[in-house]
């Protein structure tokens, strides 16, 4: 692209090597989660939530299991203020949930913030000011020392108003635009704030290090976090928090590597809602941990319901391919994927005690409220025999022989391709029924009778072109005897009869389903299916179905006298 020369890396690496995080392979415990849906998420909506909607959303976050929830910037607007007061006055904040409020480093804003917090049982007061080179030079036009003065002044004001206000307050500081700040300066301003607040074991301070704008690859952010943790004052009593945005599409990776670097707290939103490309998605982060066998301490067992509420209140839509929550994330259309999933699901049924390792499915969809039927395998012209067979088995109890699945698969794909559409299970079943089940034309099966069970002599009654006929033959089994009768007296030639049967439903009134495949003189295998309460009759109907397909495609040889 022609304008590439106007860009350069705008981030800063630590002045010392900070790569201990690389020695860790996985996250072994969840962080403290802080939802910022009601602040960062809400301010990014085209239509911000009303007071009633915010109250409902707050309850959703509580139900999911968040113990820290940023509820807004109470000095910024009347709705923000009223929302906080409603939570407190209506006693809507559970005892184990801490609310968080945001404030700039300005006297009247901090005063209004503490006024709004009157009566709160426990709250985090989140102070921030921008520290990046771009903000210092272009927005504030201030020196480093002047920027530090803003932060220190704010820290003192927060401490002053906290002492005058009844309540239990924890302090948090964010060097906003941290990722565009020189690491030495970011460290200095955080330490100057910590020197004002002087955290202790019983009064820990949160230092939040936001990727306000994601500017680097995730490993750089991890090294920045590690450097800060290693050099912050009062480190034993400081909780380092992350607040990644997703400008480069790496919000989740930034958070995960930041946790490897030692951060113990993460601020984010459901499904990543937020300014520009959004905040880090806590749903994805939490379920990534879950997929490694780590309990994230958040409950997404009813994720479709959570998504429905989220979409209604935010008026945002979760992408169909969004990790875990998207409509299609567990769905396979590709034939090879479907075949592997179907076999993996069957293997899991055979060995239910085994750990989850179904191909292409990172977690069990049912664990987050998704259903196998309609969620995992869906059929279009790209689908394969394995997936199509899986649909018939799951929805209709039909277990097609492996050899038959290929024949039926082509029939289904042909319909999907010609109509240029996805096929629903009922449509697939209709195609199967129409092309394979109890086919009675041009030769209709009317009945049979065995004369001698020693040599399986049989009499078969058929109707062809309105004419009833009686056929006789002997075989090495009942189905073979009927097969010999059809070939001998109706001029039909085939070899290599393949047969399979199973019960279609359980119980005393269950029906039997039989599948028969035969090889005609054109060397093609023709399949038929028979369904009947009587297992023998279902077998005969399956044979007639396959024979009728031969007659329709290649015709018959010269009729013999019966």
Using CA atoms of 326, 328, 329, 332 in order, give the dihedral in degrees to the nearest 10.
180
Contact 94, 62 (CB under 8 A): yes
| Residue 541, token pair as written in the block | 């109907």
CA distance 128 to 188: 15
In the numeric block, which tokens belong to residue 420?
A: 């240029």
Q: Is 534 annotated as a binding residue?
A: no
What 3-state class would DSSP assign to 509? coil
Spatial separation of the C-alpha atoms in residues 229 and 125, rounded to whole Å: 21
Cα 151–Cα 34–Cα 283 angle in degrees, nearest 5: 135
265-268 and 32-35 as β-strands: parallel, antiparallel, unpaired? parallel
Say whether 292 counts as a known binding-site residue.
no
> Smallest Cα–Cα separation from 515: which of 369, 393, 388, 404?
404
Q: What is the DSSP string of 515-534?
A: EEEEEETTS-EEEEEEEESS
What is d(CA 345, CA 361) in angstroms, rounded to the nearest whole number? 10
Other residues' Cβ atoms within 10 Å of the Cβ of residue 442: 13
Contact 74, 84 (CB under 8 A): yes
Q: Is 395 labelled a binding residue?
A: no
| Residue 207 CB partners (closer than 8 Å, separation 6+) | 172, 173, 174, 190, 194, 228, 232, 238, 239, 240, 241
Tokens of 465: 């072109």
Cα Rg, the chain, nearest whole Å? 35
Taking the mean position of all CA atoms in its chain, how far away is CA 357? 16
**Total Cβ atoms within 10 A of residue 230:** 15
Query: Which SS3 state, helix, strand or coil, does residue 325 take?
Result: coil
126 marked among binding-site residues:
no
Neighbours of 478 (CB within 10 A): 16
Tell me how far apart the alpha carbons of residues 124 and 249 are, in angstroms, rounded to a whole number.
29
Give the Cα-Cα-Cα angle 356, 289, 346 (nearest 5 degrees). Answer: 15
Are 375 and 394 contacting, i.e. CB atoms less than 8 angstroms apart? no
**Secondary structure letter of residue 178 according to DSSP:** G
Greatest Cα pair distance in the chain: 111
Q: 238, 194 in Cβ contact below 8 A? A: yes
**Strand positions, DSSP E, 167-323:** 169-176, 205-211, 238-244, 265-268
CA distance linking residue 169 with residue 152, whole number of Å: 18
Contacts of 124 (CB under 8 A, 6+ apart): 68, 70, 98, 99, 100, 101, 169, 170, 171, 172, 206
Binding residue numbers for Mg(2+): 40, 243, 245, 279
Residues in binding site: 40, 243, 245, 279
């Amino acid at each position: 692209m022609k304008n590439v020369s106007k860009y350069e890396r705008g981030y800063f690496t630590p002045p010392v090597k900070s790569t201990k995080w690389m020695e860790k392979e996985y996250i072994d415990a969840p962080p403290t989660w802080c939802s910022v849906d009601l602040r960062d998420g809400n301010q990014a909506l085209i239509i911000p939530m009303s007071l009633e909607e915010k109250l409902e959303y707050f309850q959703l976050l509580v139900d999911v299991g968040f113990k820290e929830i940023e509820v807004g910037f109470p000095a910024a607007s009347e709705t923000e203020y009223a929302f906080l007061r409603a939570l407190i006055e209506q006693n809507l904040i559970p005892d184990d949930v801490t609310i968080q409020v945001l404030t700039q480093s300005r006297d009247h804003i901090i005063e209004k913030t503490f006024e709004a917090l009157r009566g709160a049982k426990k709250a985090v007061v989140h102070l921030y000011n921008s520290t990046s080179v771009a903000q210092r030079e272009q927005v504030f036009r201030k020196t480093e020392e002047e920027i530090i003065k803003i932060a220190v002044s704010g820290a003192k004001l927060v401490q002053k108003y906290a002492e005058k206000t009844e309540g239990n307050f924890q302090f948090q500081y964010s060097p906003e635009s941290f990722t565009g700040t020189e690491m030495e300066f970011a460290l200095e301003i955080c330490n100057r704030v910590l020197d004002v607040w002087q955290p202790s074991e019983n009064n820990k301070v949160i230092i939040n290090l936001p990727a306000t704008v994601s500017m680097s690859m995730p490993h750089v952010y991890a090294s920045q976090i590690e450097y800060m943790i290693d050099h912050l004052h009062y480190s034993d009593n400081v909780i380092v928090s992350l607040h990644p945005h997703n400008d480069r599409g790496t919000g989740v990776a930034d958070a995960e590597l930041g946790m490897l670097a030692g951060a113990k707290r993460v601020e984010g939103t459901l499904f990543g809602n937020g300014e520009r490309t959004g905040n880090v998605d806590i749903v994805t982060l939490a379920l990534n941990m879950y997929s490694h066998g780590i309990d994230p301490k958040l409950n997404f067992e009813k994720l479709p319901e959570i998504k429905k509420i989220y979409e209604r209140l935010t008026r945002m839509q979760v992408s169909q391919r969004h990790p875990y929550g998207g409509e299609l994330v567990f769905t396979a259309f590709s034939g090879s994927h479907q075949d592997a999933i179907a076999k993996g699901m069957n293997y899991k049924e055979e060995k239910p005690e085994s750990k989850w390792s179904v191909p292409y499915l990172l977690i069990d969809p049912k664990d987050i409220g998704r259903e196998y039927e309609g969620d995992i395998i869906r059929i279009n012209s790209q689908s394969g025999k394995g997936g199509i067979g899986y649909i018939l088995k799951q929805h209709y109890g039909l277990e097609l022989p492996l050899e038959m699945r290929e024949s039926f698969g082509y029939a289904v794909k042909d319909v999907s391709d010609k109509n240029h559409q996805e096929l629903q299970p009922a449509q697939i079943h209709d195609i199967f029924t129409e092309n394979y089940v109890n086919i009675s034309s041009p030769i209709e099966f009317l009945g049979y009778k065995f004369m001698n069970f020693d040599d399986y002599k049989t009499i078969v009654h058929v109707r062809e072109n309105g004419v009833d006929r009686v056929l006789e033959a002997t075989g090495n089994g009942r189905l073979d005897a009927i097969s010999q009768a059809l070939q001998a007296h109706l001029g039909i030639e085939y070899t290599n009869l393949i047969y399979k049967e199973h019960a279609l439903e359980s119980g005393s009134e269950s029906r039997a389903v039989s599948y028969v495949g035969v090889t005609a003189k054109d060397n093609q295998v023709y399949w038929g299916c028979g369904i009947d309460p009587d297992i023998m009759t279902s077998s005969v109907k399956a044979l007639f179905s396959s024979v009728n397909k031969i007659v329709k495609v290649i015709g018959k040889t010269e009729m013999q006298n019966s």
